[in-house]
A and B are shown apart, each in its own frame.
Chain A
Amino acid sequence: GAVVSQHPSWVICKSGTSVKIECRSLDFQATTMFWYRQFPKQSLMLMATSNEGSKATYEQGVEKDKFLINHASLTLSTLTVTSAHPEDSSFYICSARDPGTSGTAYEQYFGPGTRLTVT
């Protein structure tokens, strides 16, 4: 159980275009999902917390107009990188909290990540 998928697994786009990344919880309903960014050989940096049916909460320094997050259902959150630039190239990872099992342990289950390359 507690499987999270991401699509696409990798994407190459041209500078100035927008890219949408999907994050799905496959066998549980996730009221809360998280989006992270990771640079090579570094740890995960939390970008935003996505809550089903409400606006996402962005971390300090993350542009909410550039990284659009939508959590329209209990199993799907999307991250859209708008007007992408080469510096947006990174590994984007989502995670989801399964309230049925996490309880007070705050466990998160991660997707496999999406490698974005902006040329």
Chain B
Amino acid sequence: TQLLEQSPQFLSIQEGENLTVYCNSSSVFSSLQWYRQEPGEGPVLLVTVVTGGEVKKLKRLTFQFGDARKDSSLHITAAQPGDTGLYLCAGAGRLNSGYALNFGKGTSLLVTP
């Protein structure tokens, strides 16, 4: 059972377009992380959101944590080919789960010039 549902699973857009990736769950998390992974490499942490309703910006990327801490979104403005990769959301801090992360299935993004 996947605790975190990511959508869309695949996304192919042209350079300059905007996009939003969603990460939803019925569970409450203490924190939620977004990672970006390129083929053949390990995931790289982009951001951690902890407070319900929190919004964080990282250049052209905007991350939001839902008020109930069950969902999150990633919005990319004016996407560039360098944004291509697999975007993973991961929730942590569920009761009795220790420090383990629960990963969504990921969103594979392709940005073409």
Q: Which residues on A are within 8 Å of B, measured CB to CB?
A: 4, 6, 32, 34, 41-44, 46, 49, 57, 91, 93, 95, 97, 102, 104-113, 115
Report B55-79 CB contacts with A as 1/0, cut-off 8 Å: 0000000000000000000000000
- Tell me how many residues of B have a C-beta within 8 Å of chain A: 26
Distance of A108 Cα from B46 Cα, bound (Å): 11
- A97-B43 in contact given A43-B106, A106-B31, A106-B93 (Cβ < 8 Å): no
Residues of A within 8 A of B105 (CB): 42-43
Contact between A49 and B99 (Cβ–Cβ < 8 Å)? yes
B84 to chain A, nearest CB (A): 14
- Residue from B42, B93, B99, B108 whose CB has the most chain A CB atoms within 10 Å: B42
A46-B100, A112-B41 given; name 8 further pairs at CB < 8 Å: A32-B98, A43-B105, A49-B100, A108-B45, A108-B90, A113-B41, A113-B42, A115-B40
Contact between B44 and A110 (Cβ–Cβ < 8 Å)? yes
Residues of A within 8 A of B35 (CB): 110
Contact between A104 and B41 (Cβ–Cβ < 8 Å)? no
